[in-house]
Structure 1
Amino acid sequence: MTQISGGDDEAGAALAVLRAMVAIADSTVAHTTEQLTLTQFRVLRVVAERTPVTMGKVAEELAANPSTVTRACDRLAALELLQKAQNPLNRRETLLAPTAKGRQLVDRVDHERRRVLTGVLDRLDGDVRAEVLTAFARFADAASPTFARGK
């Protein structure tokens, strides 16, 4: 069983789950893309989910520095995963959209994440698995007003 630092408190238990989920997120991006950082992938995911979207909106969505998003978008465009175009309604804005290759990459990472998560869930007994899935759904609902990303 995972040791929870700082005692067996509720936040510590949630932190242990968060660390496991982040490890899964990191490893599936690294395993599937080999060429992107987690930040670059997160940018691509937001663009794929919100197309068309401006760089400013992506930075806001990720709570990231605009220059970080700009660098990530430049890298994604160089890899032909993202298209950039000037907004015809506001020439100071750049619109972003994923390429077909970019959408396929997001789909591959999602597939890999589902595979890994299914493997973890399959290690749980049926009743425990049902409880965990219910808890995940409730947790996601509780977090959604603050952290609506990823839907």
Structure 2
Amino acid sequence: MISIGDATLERATGSLTLTQFRALRVVVEHTPVTGTRVAADLGMNPSSVTRACDRLVTLGLLSRARNPSNRRETLLAPTAKGRQLAEQVNRDRRRVLAGILDRLDPDSRAAVVAAFALFTDAADGKD
């Protein structure tokens, strides 16, 4: 799973670290969002997230703006290019996983899909 994630990220971006891409994904999913929220979602130090987001802004994948309701906060939002990149990586990952599942016989495929559902529930804290 990790090698699939790494390979699809490398093909799509070539220049982003996993941390930078994870930050981009959080911003895409929760836009607009503060860097503090991104850091909390990733379980990372805010200064590390700030550096990752600085790089994403430089690459034109994120934009920053002052929060109109709290001028001390800066909001992050994906640019069209950033949103497209996140969507491309997600499509590539789904395509690769679908190809792997297609190579399994129907019973094995059903078992793997069921196991992934259980894994997802456990990761989300569901019983």
Q: TM-score, normalised by structure 2?
A: 0.94
Aligned to 1:72: 52
Return the alpha-carbon distance in structure 1 between the equivalents of residues 56 and 123 of structure 2: 29
Return the alpha-carbon distance in structure 2 between the equivalents of residues 94 and 22 of structure 1: 32
Moved over 6 A (4+): none
Distance apart, 1:91 and its partner CA = 2.2
Q: Is 2:71 the counterpart of 1:91?
A: yes
Aligned to 1:8: none
- Count residues with an aligned counterpart: 126
Distance apart, 1:143 and its partner CA = 1.4
CA RMSD in angstroms, aligned pairs only: 1.2
Which structure would you say has the larger RCO, counting Cα contacts within 8 Å and 6 or more residues apart?
Answer: 2
Identity level (%): 63
Q: What does the per-residue CA deviation read over 1:39-74, in whole Å, with 9 as the maximum and x for residues that have no partner?
A: 100000000000010000000000011111101111
- Point out where structure 2 has 5 or more consecutive residues left out of the alignment: none
Q: What does the per-residue CA deviation read over 1:13-38, in whole Å, with 9 as the maximum and x for residues that have no partner?
A: xxxxxxxx111111111111111111
Larger radius of gyration: 1
Structure 1 residue identity aligned to 2:30 = R
Distance apart, 1:81 and its partner CA = 0.5
- Point out where structure 1 has 5 or more consecutive residues left out of the alignment: 1-20, 147-151
